[in-house]
Structure formats: C-alpha cells, structure tokens
C-alpha cells in the first residue's frame, strides 16, 4: 500500500496527544513560520500540563500586518494548558504589553527557562541527531551558566548544555508530498526543519500537498523520515496575500 | 542642554565601520537603521538570525511585504539577487562559528572592559535573550550603538555592569549620541566626539575614566 501521511483534519492530527506531552512548536515569532491551525487544534483538544519549546511565547503583531492575523502559542497559555516553557524571546519588547504567557506566569501556572536562541536550537538539533549534550561558549560569564558544568577547551571556556527531546512537534512548511518530504518558504523555514527531527511524532501544517515526485529531490529541506502526519491549511494563498 | 546626535546620525556613523564584502548582523533599534547608510561603493551582506543572508531594504509598500520574508525584528524586508535562506541551526552555527564579521547591538549597559548587558532590566524581572548572547560571543567584531545615557541621565557606560550580562569582554566599539569609543586593554579610548562637545563634558556623562586619543576628532560621517 502506498504511504500516505495526510490527515483529514487538524483535530484528527492532534487527537492522541496526551496530557504532559513535550511539544516542540515552531514560530520564530511571526505569522509565516507559525503552525497556527495545529496550535488552534491543540487548544480545542485541551491536553494539559504541556511543556512548550518555542523561540517565543506569543508576540502580538510580530511579522504581521494586523494583530488579528497572528495565532500563536498565546492561546495555549490563555487556556491554562502549559506548565513549563523553554524560549529565547518569551515576552514582547515593550514592558507595557501583557501577553497570556505573562498572565500564566503571574498566576504561577508555568515555569520558564530562558535559553539563548542558538543554544535552544542546538539543544533540539542535538536530540534529533542522537547527541546527549554539547559544550558551547554562549552564556559563559552570565546567569545562563549557573549550575552548569564548565570546561576549558583550547584555552576557551564552554558550558555544557543538554539535548531537549520532544514527544510531538508542530511545524509549518510550504509544500509537502504525501510521503512527508517538505519544502519551506524563505524566512519561514527558521526552526521548523530542526524541530521536525527531534520529536517522536512530527505533524506538519502545509499550504499545499503534491504527489511524490513532484518536488525536486535537490530542493527538499526536510526528508520524509522526519515527518509523520501532514495536514493541509484551508487557504493556499501565501506571502503578500496573507 | 547641548544637542546630541539623533538616532539616524548614530546609525550613519556605525555604517562607516562596514567594509566592502562584510557579513553584518544588525540588532533591533538603532542598529537596524544602519542598513540605510552603507557607504557608497561598498557591498555589505546582511545576516538575520531567523535564517537569511543578503536581503534588501525594509519593504515600505504594502504590496512588497511578504510574511515569509522578515528580519529578526519582525520587519518586512525585500529580496535581492544572491539572497539565501537556511534553518536556525545553520544560522547560529554561522554566528558562533565566527563567520559573521560585524554585529551591531543595542545595550542597556556597557562596562569599560567591554562587558555587555542588553537582555534584561532587573526591575522587569523577565527578559529576552534572543540571539544576543550568541552574537556577542561569536561575531568577529561587536559594535554597540546606543544613547550615551539613559532616559534619566544615568550612566549606561559604567565601570561595571549592574544588569544581567549578555557576555563578558565582548564589545569592541561603542558609538553613541556623544562619542565613539574603542574598548582597549587599558580602558575606553575616546576617538571621536559629537560637534560642540568637549572631552570633559563627555567624561561627566561617562562613569569610567576615558583615555583621550592623540587623534581625537569630531565625529565624521
């Protein structure tokens, strides 16, 4: 039987995600790389006590033309579903903007670990590549090094950072084939291909689904081995239409 | 009160540091403005941490704005011939691996040793590291572009940073609305000064002792 990873709905694609799951959710911040429909389906699904690993934790209006366009992880915090979060850019730049994440933090519902962006990405990349931990110079001499093993290699100081493995990854790509090969669109690629490698189940939200063979093998960014479920967004228009 | 340089002029001075062929990463705020003032005849290739090299100016017209082409500040940018895209792991490997020639960052405080604090005001209790720690550690040259003093007139250039650090001893050059200073092993070397200001006046706005360069001159644009 031919492999077909296409799911009929966003709800079906997230239906088995249990309470307590570690969720790798992409979105550098903007609308382009954000799996908005999958996040909405997670909100409706209602799984609790989630751990969210994402660059940001809700930035109203970031990379969009109107704030109404951007659905991000904010809705999971507003719905009391998250108990732990890893992020590099957790809050809006302006201290006057209070997001659902900040409200959840103030309620004491969620514990935050702020991680330098390159370290966050590398921790997830390491998990996907079978690496347990790695030494990085980023964060040496700052609060980030607190409690971490330090090592001097060739006269330079490094700190030890551990891999972060996910249970489920929710990612956004541009085009998928039915096998799960993915291509992205411009800066919306960002963390999506990395998150795809590090979860037990990777679910991709895409603009378009094509038959195997229609994507040029030379241009595939995420090979199908990393992708388990694919769901098509209702509206194919991208870029300047969005 | 004497006039200080405006943000655009600080950005213009920063841009003079870009050499032909440099790979440059610009932080949010004054640093981003520097992309408008590349000296004539030089080609500079911009890097953005969210995964692009060689993009063009900010997309002003709505018809040119594409949600899939943004910089690290969430601004829409435009395509250029020779542009490339990559994932965040490659983007930060470029940064940490020393492949970015210059990063220009904003700052809350800089110390006389070049320690940088730019990610958290302690009174807020929460802050954004983003890519700043990686850039401060990995770029070949770190330029800070900022106002010389904070809104209350307090020192931002301090003997020691009191805010949480981004990285230690990483800053090479500080460009402010009053002066251009190089971080040297002996301390901060005052190299250029805003029109109408004396070294003594700049010193009173600066906590650590400034070393006057023998070639001290007015800021050149």
Q: Which of B17, B49, B112, B192 is catalytic?
A: B49
Q: Is residue A74 part of a domain?
A: yes
- CATH number (domain holding residue A72): 3.40.1080.10
* Mean pLDDT across chain A: 94
Q: Is residue A155 part of a domain?
A: no
pLDDT of residue B2: 85
B→A contacts (Cβ < 8 Å), by residue, are 28, 48-52, 62-72, 74, 76, 85-89, 92, 95-96, 121, 124, 126-134, 137-138, 164-168
Distance from CA of B62 to the nearest CA of A (A): 8
Q: Is residue A158 part of a domain?
A: no
Q: Is residue A218 part of a domain?
A: yes
pLDDT in tens, B53-63: 999 989 999 99
Q: Is residue A30 part of a domain?
A: yes
Q: Which residues of A touch B29 (CB under 8 A)?
A: none
Percent of chain B, pLDDT > 90? 95
In the predicted model, is pLDDT for residue B140 greater than 90? yes
In the predicted model, is pLDDT for residue A23 greater than 90? yes
Provide the β-strand partners of residue A87: A114
Can you tell me the mean pLDDT for B8-36?
95
Q: Is residue A178 part of a domain?
A: yes
Ranges A8-12, A19-23, A208-212, A238-242: which has the least confidence? A238-242
Return the H-helix or E-strand segment holding A152: strand A150-153
Contact flag B88-A191 (C-beta cutoff 8 Å): yes
By Cβ distance, the residue of B50, B126, B166 closest to A187 is B50
In the predicted model, is pLDDT for residue B221 greater than 90? no
pLDDT of residue A68: 56
Q: Is residue A94 part of a domain?
A: yes
Q: Is residue A27 part of a domain?
A: yes
By Cβ distance, the residue of B50, B65, B96 closest to A138 is B96
Question: Could you tell me the residue range of the domain that residue A178 belongs to?
Answer: 10-121+164-234
Determine the Cα–Cα distance for residues A195 and A124; give it in Å rounded to an integer. 7
pLDDT in tens, A87-128: 999 999 999 999 999 999 999 999 999 999 999 999 999 999
User: How far, in whole angstroms, is CA B111 from its chain's centroid?
Assistant: 15
Does the ipTM surpass 0.85? yes
Query: What domain count does chain A have?
Result: 1
**A40 closest CA partner among A66, A98, A79:** A79
Can you tell me the mean pLDDT for A56-81?
88
pLDDT of residue A67: 53
**Residue in chain A lying closest to B139 (CA):** A138
User: How far, in whole angstroms, is CA A229 from its chain's centroid?
Assistant: 15
Tokens of B91: 């983007």
3-state secondary structure of B35: helix
Q: Are A49 and A19 in contact (CB under 8 A)?
A: yes
In the predicted model, is pLDDT for residue A69 greater than 90? no
Percent of chain A, pLDDT > 90? 88
**B7-218, which class in CATH?**
alpha beta
pLDDT in tens, B76-112: 999 999 999 999 999 999 999 999 999 999 999 999 9
Q: For this structure, is B49 an active site residue?
A: yes
Tokens of A117: 């962006």
Domain boundaries, chain B: 7-218
Beta-carbon count within 10 A of B150 CB: 12
Can you tell me the mean pLDDT for A153-170?
98
pLDDT of residue A236: 57
pLDDT in tens, B36-73: 899 999 999 999 999 999 999 899 999 999 999 999 99
Can you tell me the mean pLDDT for B158-164?
98
């Amino acid at each position: 039987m031919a492999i077909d990873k296409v799911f009929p709905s966003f709800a079906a694609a997230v239906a088995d995600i249990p309470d307590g799951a570690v969720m790798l959710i992409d979105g550098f911040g903007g609308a382009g790389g954000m799996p908005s429909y999958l996040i909405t389906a997670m909100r409706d699904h209602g799984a609790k006590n989630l751990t969210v690993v994402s660059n940001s934790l809700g930035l109203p209006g970031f990379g969009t033309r109107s704030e109404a366009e951007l659905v991000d992880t904010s809705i999971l915090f507003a719905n009391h579903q998250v108990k732990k979060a890893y992020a590099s850019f957790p809050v809006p730049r302006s201290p006057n903007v209070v997001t659902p994440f900040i409200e959840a933090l103030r309620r004491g519902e969620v514990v935050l670990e702020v991680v330098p962006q390159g370290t966050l990405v590398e921790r997830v990349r390491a998990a996907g590549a079978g690496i347990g931990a790695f030494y990085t110079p980023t964060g040496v001499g700052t609060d980030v090094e607190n409690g971490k093993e330090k090592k001097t290699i060739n006269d330079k100081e490094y700190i030890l950072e551990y891999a972060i493995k996910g249970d489920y990854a929710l990612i956004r790509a541009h085009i998928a084939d039915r096998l799960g090969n993915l291509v992205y669109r411009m800066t919306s690629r960002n963390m999506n291909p990395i998150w795809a490698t590090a979860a037990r189940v990777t679910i991709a939200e895409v603009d378009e689904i094509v038959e195997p063979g229609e994507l040029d093998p030379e241009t595939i960014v995420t090979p199908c081995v990393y992708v388990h479920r694919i769901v098509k967004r209702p509206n194919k228009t991208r870029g300047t239409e969005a | 009160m004497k006039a200080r340089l405006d943000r655009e002029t600080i950005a213009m001075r920063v841009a003079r540091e870009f050499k032909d062929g440099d790979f440059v990463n610009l932080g949010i705020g004054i640093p981003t403005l520097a992309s408008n003032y590349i000296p004539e005849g030089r080609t500079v290739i911009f890097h953005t941490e969210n995964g692009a090299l060689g993009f063009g100016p900010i997309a002003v017209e709505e018809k040119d704005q594409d949600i899939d082409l943004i910089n690290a500040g969430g601004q829409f940018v435009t395509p250029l011939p020779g542009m490339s895209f990559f994932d965040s792991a490659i983007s930060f490997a470029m940064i940490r691996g020393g492949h970015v020639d210059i990063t220009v960052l904003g700052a809350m405080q800089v110390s006389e040793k070049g320690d940088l604090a730019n990610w958290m005001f302690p009174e807020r209790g929460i802050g954004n590291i983003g890519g700043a720690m990686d850039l401060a550690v990995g770029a070949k040259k770190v330029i800070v572009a900022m106002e010389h003093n904070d809104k209350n007139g307090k020192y931002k250039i301090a003997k020691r940073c009191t805010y949480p650090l981004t990285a230690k001893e990483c800053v090479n050059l500080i460009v402010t609305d009053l002066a251009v200073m190089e971080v040297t092993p002996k301390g901060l070397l005052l190299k250029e000064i805003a029109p109408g200001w004396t070294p003594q006046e700049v010193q009173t706005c600066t906590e650590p002792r400034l070393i006057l360069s023998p070639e001290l001159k007015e800021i050149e644009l």
